[in-house]
Amino acid sequence: MTTTTSYRPIDGHPAGSVTDSSPDEVAAVVARAAAVAPVVAAASPATRLGWLERVAATLESHGDELVRLADTETSLGTARLTGELARVAAQLRFYGAVAVEGSYLGVARDAATATAPSLTRVNQPLGPVAVFGASNFPFAFGVLGNDTASALAAGCPVVAKAHPAHVLLSVRLAELAAEALVEAGAPSGTLGLVVGMDAGVQLVRAGQVAAVGFTGSQAGGMALWRLANERETVIPVYAEMGTVNPVVVTRAAAAHRLDEIATGFVGSFTLGSGQFCTKPGLVLAPAGHDVAAAVGAALEAAAPQPVMLTEAIASHATSGVDDLVAAGARVVARVPARSEGWSTDAVVLAAPAAALTAGSRLLEECFGPVAVVVEYADDDERDALIATLQPSLAATVATDASGADPDAPALVMKLAGQVGRVTIDDWPTGVAWTWAQQHGGPWPATSRPEATSVGGAALSRWVRPVAYQSVPEAWLPPAGRADNPWDVPQRIDGELRPRQR
Amino acid sequence: MTTTTSYRPIDGHPAGSVTDSSPDEVAAVVARAAAVAPVVAAASPATRLGWLERVAATLESHGDELVRLADTETSLGTARLTGELARVAAQLRFYGAVAVEGSYLGVARDAATATAPSLTRVNQPLGPVAVFGASNFPFAFGVLGNDTASALAAGCPVVAKAHPAHVLLSVRLAELAAEALVEAGAPSGTLGLVVGMDAGVQLVRAGQVAAVGFTGSQAGGMALWRLANERETVIPVYAEMGTVNPVVVTRAAAAHRLDEIATGFVGSFTLGSGQFCTKPGLVLAPAGHDVAAAVGAALEAAAPQPVMLTEAIASHATSGVDDLVAAGARVVARVPARSEGWSTDAVVLAAPAAALTAGSRLLEECFGPVAVVVEYADDDERDALIATLQPSLAATVATDASGADPDAPALVMKLAGQVGRVTIDDWPTGVAWTWAQQHGGPWPATSRPEATSVGGAALSRWVRPVAYQSVPEAWLPPAGRADNPWDVPQRIDGELRPRQR
């Protein structure tokens, strides 16, 4: 019988242990999810919103306990964790409201014509979704994070895997949420949890699991993607993975706003000790302004970093700096690690443009408070550097803030070609959960360039369309009926009709 | 130097040969597509509609020549091919109109709030798309079929692979279309063609190719999917593959409409010699009505079949019947093959319910004029049989046509859980290209359960979203701007606003 133990980042002592799920237990959790899947799917979006609201309220009413537990296992601090708890509750309500709005159902109705039969198209939930949360957002991307909330909102039961770095919190969150769901009328089994690495593998292989959501490292995401591709019935894996998230500083920006940009950049890349998938890790800056020195100075003036989430993350960050140096970078500034707990130095490096060749370690994420500055001599070199970058979740253009920076428009277009989100004079850390958000990007930022794991479109990952041909009204799913009982947007003979309210 | 030769199905003689594309030629075609991709992407949907309209008109003005050429290589007959040519022209116009409508751009705008930045979300074209058409629809799913038309409409250049069964037609279609595109103002290189198996492999491996569309066999689709998954940068493969497409006959249907259903079913499964990916290949019928005998009688009364598309298809259909017999079926009726050309018997078989176990050949497509009838004793056996079926593109429920068949509603719901389209008293062959169509389905019907290769939603396969955060209006892509110059639907702060017209 194996167990999963989480540790306190502040001193490395065990926080607690949970017995791993046995193969039989995993099978039972999946079977329960599969058994209730038709009931969850048949519930109206308004009903599911009610379920999610109850979960949100339960989390809020257990806020102190949950924040305390999360802080023990993550050391992210009570201020940050209190905010993140509020966020996860707001997310649950948001995805429920997105479901009620009903666009995710993609309803279209074509009347029969002389040459074509009547067709009604309605998205339906895929079935049980396996969710693998992230270490760095125990609430917002955890057991009840964006993947779980959007899957439940879309009508899919969820089986989450407990994250080993916050396994106690994972168990408690699942416990509270499962209880709240049942209280709110959802069938028992709508949300399940499994614990342990083997349990996670079994989960992805389980025949009744219909899709996988993952947030985390490249290695972890790729492993799950391969596992799913080896199934007899291949299922979609929506893996959102860390990337280098480049920042391009324009010439006008360097000339007019260098200190402000350097300070803002340090704030962003050291936020939460750099443990964000959207951490900006690479700056392309015009030569002649010594941007690396400015960033280094800003780092030295910054507050010391909190400890890291896990021993492995701390040691990878430390060895990552060595790898960057081996790849041709030099250290410009280094703020030493705290002496207590799992810690790593915060580091600014500089690398010559010539070092950024395909396959270079400099092009990859170094998870932690580490960033590299590369100078470009002219437009051609800048554009050549951009062309060597791996696709990322986000890219930032730092402009002169005039709204008329001559270099910016072309950079926006160019970067949009290789990332999921382009920000102007606004740092990429922080991912708003609104309708227009896109948290994703081309391979290897994610395994599905068309998908987002945050925002209104996140529900689309968990449904697929079915067309009903010559099917009588009464046998259609409610969302597709002419009388539109759920008041969802419908496309009628090609014309999009919004909700009536 | 290798060549690709097509053969006349009517007598097996060569129709003509085309030299295969060399590696350098393939690289050049892909490079041209990549070079013009930004221009194609930047063209407005209305501009692209103009391009597609010109292609459609060109096809129509070369109708006689194209139909003659297609008939030489496919023997599908001039009536069918004339209709299919009209269809491909209509499809080109339809996808262009879908682009102009603009929903495929998925535009959403969220204004900045106290806690979130402004975000504008707009889909953008993926880049060059590789298209592998089907043998059985030389026009509608060929070089200029649904995949190509929807990709061009969505703003992606296309490189098609010539189908070996109609290589002469492929070359001529690409030639005419490329010329028409340039005449209409599209950049040269918007549509390219490669010839030969090796060229196809190189195409999927090419770094600049951003996505793959495929219509054809399971084996072919899976091979391309694997190839794409082995790339350094994995790209989406939208493979639409053949399936068994079950028909469930209700008790009331068998009692009241057996002859009509048997005749209709024979018409559908022998249409085009059964060479449809939506051919209904398996009937589940209530015991006690001898449905197999009725279907057999209807087959014996039907017109003789045209020759098959290729020697391989004909011989696979012939051996497929032997495989079905080996898997436990018995032949009920057989209409002998024509003596000329590539031909195969049209066959109705019956199999006991007990033979339909997981992995049985009876659960898989047999491409050609072949169908199997299986009797169910009661509801439980019927539902157990349905549960053993592989997911399919389409499923049909044959009811008593009263609109009140008591068994039908539950069957619609059950079948919707495992197919892309459910038809009621309407055969699945024939796939209308309208807004509400869904031509797809869960694995292994397709490699992407969320996608359709026909209908308004087909464009979505070729785009991915980008969010623009705090980006000034003037730097946004046109579709995302507040002044909405393309008049597309926009979601403003969560509220969906249709076009203004």
Active-site residue, from A240, A364, A365, A375: A240
Q: Residue B444: is the preceding peptide bond cis (ω within 30°)?
A: yes
Residues B422, A469: C-beta atoms closer than 8 Å: yes
Measure the CA–CA gap between A337 and A318, rounded to whole angstroms: 10
Given a cut of 90, whether residue A38 has pLDDT beyond it is yes
Contact (Cβ atoms closer than 8 angstroms) between residue B480 and residue B120? yes
Given a cut of 80, whether residue A304 has pLDDT beyond it is no
Quick one: closest CA in A to B119, which residue?
A: A436
Residue A154 pLDDT grade (very low, low, confident, very high; cuts 50, 70, 90): very high
Nearest in space to A181 (alpha carbons), one of A53, A41, A44: A53
pLDDT digits (tens, 9 = 90+) for A101-138: 999 999 999 999 998 999 999 999 999 999 999 999 99
Contact (Cβ atoms closer than 8 angstroms) between residue B78 and residue B86? no
Let me know whether B79 and B175 are in one domain. Answer: yes
Residues B437, A494: C-beta atoms closer than 8 Å: no
Tokens of B115: 């806690």
Residues B436, A236: C-beta atoms closer than 8 Å: no
Nearest in space to A367 (alpha carbons), one of A284, A436, A281: A281
Half-sphere exposure of A340 (CA within 13 A, CB side): 9
In a domain, residue B431? The reply is no
Percent residues over pLDDT 90 in chain A: 96
Residues A467, B425: C-beta atoms closer than 8 Å: no
- A240 assigned to active site: yes
What residue numbers bound the domain in which B365 lies?
246-424
Tokens of B269: 């499964």
Total CB pairs under 8 A between chain A and B? 233
Residues B498, A499: C-beta atoms closer than 8 Å: no
Measure the CA–CA gap between B413 and A447, rounded to whole angstroms: 31
CATH number reported for the structural domain that contains residue A49 in this entry: 3.40.605.10
Q: Please report how the helices B63-74 and B45-61 are oriented relative to each other, as an axis angle in degrees rounded to 10.
A: 70
Contact (Cβ atoms closer than 8 angstroms) between residue B228 and residue B211? no
**Taking every pair of C-alpha atoms in chain A, what is the biggest distance, in angstroms?**
79
Query: How is B378-445 classified by DSSP, letter by letter?
Result: SHHHHHHHHHHSPPEEEEEEE--SSS--TTHHHHHHHHHTTEEEEEESS-S-----STT-----STTS
| Chain B partners within 8 Å of A450 (Cβ) | 236, 460-461, 463-465
User: Hunting for tokens 């060059």 — which residue is that?
Assistant: B128
- Start-end of H helices in A130-166: 146-153
The distance of B6 to chain A (nearest Cα, Å) reads: 33
Interface test with A, best of B98, B105, B113, B121 (most A CBs within 10 A): B121
Residues A426, B467: C-beta atoms closer than 8 Å: no
Residues B422, A101: C-beta atoms closer than 8 Å: no
Contact (Cβ atoms closer than 8 angstroms) between residue B467 and residue A421? yes
Quick one: closest CA in B to A110, which residue?
A: B436
pLDDT at B305: 79
| Chain A partners within 8 Å of B115 (Cβ) | 432
User: Hunting for tokens 């037609």 — which residue is that?
Assistant: B169
In a domain, residue B164? The reply is yes
Let me know whether A207 and A315 are in one domain. Answer: no
Residues A435, B463: C-beta atoms closer than 8 Å: no
| Chain A partners within 8 Å of B117 (Cβ) | 423, 426, 432
Nearest in space to B133 (alpha carbons), one of B93, B101, B102, B91: B91
Quick one: closest CA in B to A393, which residue?
A: B466
Let me know whether B102 and B204 are in one domain. Answer: yes
Choose the closest CB to A117 out of B229, B432, B440. B432
| Chain B partners within 8 Å of A103 (Cβ) | 491, 496
Cα dist from A185 to A50, A150, A179, whole Å: 9, 18, 10
Contacts of A83 (CB under 8 A, 6+ apart): none
Let me know whether A251 and A170 are in one domain. Answer: no
pLDDT digits (tens, 9 = 90+) for A206-242: 999 999 999 999 999 999 999 999 999 999 999 999 8
Let me know whether A328 and A456 are in one domain. Answer: no
Measure the CA–CA gap between B415 and B387, rounded to whole angstroms: 9
Distance of CA A209 to the CA centre of its chain: 20
The distance of B489 to chain A (nearest Cα, Å) reads: 8
Residues B494, A443: C-beta atoms closer than 8 Å: no
Measure the CA–CA gap between B102 and B478, rounded to whole angstroms: 12
Q: How would you list the strands of the sheet with A237-241, edge to edge?
A: A191-194, A158-161, A129-132, A211-216, A237-241
In a domain, residue B60? The reply is yes
pLDDT at A501: 73
| Residue B359, beta-bridge partner list | none
Cα dist from A207 to A260, B243, B382, whole Å: 53, 20, 22
Let me know whether B206 and B290 are in one domain. Answer: no
Quick one: closest CA in B to A125, which residue?
A: B417
Half-sphere exposure of B341 (CA within 13 A, CB side): 20
First vs last C-alpha separation in chain B: 55
pLDDT digits (tens, 9 = 90+) for A326-360: 999 999 999 998 888 999 999 999 999 999 999 99
Measure the CA–CA gap between B9 and B342, rounded to whole angstroms: 6
Task: Tell me how many degrees the CA angle A155-A472-A496 measures, rounded to the nearest 5.
Answer: 60
| Chain A partners within 8 Å of B475 (Cβ) | 408-409, 412, 424
Distance of CA B154 to the CA centre of its chain: 17
Choose the closest CB to A472 out of B424, B448, B463. B424
First vs last C-alpha separation in chain A: 55
Task: Give the dihedral sign, CA B172/B177/B180/B186.
Answer: negative
Measure the CA–CA gap between B290 and B285, rounded to whole angstroms: 9
pLDDT digits (tens, 9 = 90+) for A449-499: 999 999 999 999 999 999 999 999 999 999 999 999 999 999 999 999 999
CB neighbours of residue B93 within 10 Å = 17
pLDDT along chain B (501 residues), means of 10: 94 97 98 98 98 98 98 96 98 98 98 96 98 97 98 98 98 98 98 98 98 95 97 97 96 97 97 94 97 97 87 94 97 90 95 96 95 98 97 98 97 97 96 97 96 98 98 98 98 95 73
Choose the closest CB to A422 out of B412, B457, B471. B471
In a domain, residue A490? The reply is no
Tokens of B301: 């009364």
Let me know whether A105 and A70 are in one domain. Answer: yes
CB neighbours of residue A287 within 10 Å = 16
Choose the closest CB to B408 out of A440, A457, A475. A475
Residues A475, B229: C-beta atoms closer than 8 Å: no
Residues B467, A437: C-beta atoms closer than 8 Å: yes
pLDDT at A305: 79
Domain count, chain A: 2
Measure the CA–CA gap between B343 and B348, rounded to whole angstroms: 16
In a domain, residue B499? The reply is no
Q: Please report how the helices A45-61 and A146-153 are oriented relative to each other, as an axis angle in degrees rounded to 10.
A: 150
In a domain, residue B411? The reply is yes
For the annotated catalytic residues of B, the residue numbers are: 240, 277
Let me know whether A77 and A98 are in one domain. Answer: yes
CATH number reported for the structural domain that contains residue B285 in this entry: 3.40.309.10
Contact (Cβ atoms closer than 8 angstroms) between residue A281 and residue A314? no
Measure the CA–CA gap between B330 and B196, rounded to whole angstroms: 40
pLDDT digits (tens, 9 = 90+) for A11-21: 999 999 999 99
pLDDT at B1: 77
Q: CA torsion, points B427, B431, B436, B442, in degrees to nearest 10?
A: 80
Quick one: closest CA in B to A449, which residue?
A: B464
In a domain, residue B321? The reply is yes
Q: How would you list the strands of the sheet with A463-469, edge to edge?
A: A495-497, A490-492, A107-110, A119-125, A463-469, B419-424, B392-398, B246-249, B282-286, B370-376, B346-351, B330-335
pLDDT at B66: 98
Q: Which helix (H) or strand (E) holds B104?
A: none
Give ipTM to 2 decimals: 0.98
- A495 assigned to active site: no
Checking DSSP bridges between strand A419-424 and strand B463-469, what pairing results, if any?
A: parallel
Residues A435, B467: C-beta atoms closer than 8 Å: no
Let me know whether B30 and B136 are in one domain. Answer: yes
Measure the CA–CA gap between A75 and A313, rounded to whole angstroms: 13
Please give the single-letter amino acid code of residue A106: G
Q: Which long-range contacts (CB under 8 A, 24 or more apart) does B225-228 make?
A: B225/B447, B227/B201, B228/B204
The distance of A8 to chain B (nearest Cα, Å) reads: 31
Let me know whether A37 and A119 are in one domain. Answer: yes
Percent residues over pLDDT 70 in chain A: 100
In a domain, residue B267? The reply is yes
Mean pLDDT of A273-293: 96
Quick one: closest CA in B to A94, which residue?
A: B494
Tokens of B480: 């995302």
Quick one: closest CA in B to A211, which residue?
A: B449
| Chain A partners within 8 Å of B431 (Cβ) | none
Tokens of A252: 């006008």
Q: What are phi and psi of A464, to 5 degrees?
A: -140, 155
Active-site residue, from A73, A101, A156, A277: A277
pLDDT at A339: 80
The distance of B197 to chain A (nearest Cα, Å) reads: 25
| Chain B partners within 8 Å of A481 (Cβ) | none
What is the helix, strand, coil percentage profile of chain B, to 5? Answer: 40, 20, 40
pLDDT at B34: 98
**DSSP secondary structure code for residue B489 in this structure:** -
Contact (Cβ atoms closer than 8 angstroms) between residue A456 and residue A154? no
Q: How many residues does chain B have?
A: 501
Query: How is B327-382 classified by DSSP, letter by letter?
Result: TT-EEEEEEPPPSSSS---EEEEEE-GGG--TT-GGGS---SSEEEEEEESSHHHH
Contact (Cβ atoms closer than 8 angstroms) between residue A314 and residue A346? no
Let me know whether A395 and A281 are in one domain. Answer: yes
Contact (Cβ atoms closer than 8 angstroms) between residue A143 and residue A133? yes
pLDDT at A294: 98
Tokens of B276: 């449809």
Q: CA torsion, points A296, A301, A307, A310, in degrees to nearest 10?
A: -20
The distance of A10 to chain B (nearest Cα, Å) reads: 30
| Chain B partners within 8 Å of A389 (Cβ) | none
Task: Tell me how many degrees the CA angle B336-B339-B342 measures, rounded to the nearest 5.
Answer: 95
Let me know whether A232 and A341 are in one domain. Answer: no
Nearest in space to A245 (alpha carbons), one of A478, A16, A427: A427
| Chain B partners within 8 Å of A466 (Cβ) | 416, 419-422, 438
Kindly report the pTM of this predicted structure: 0.97
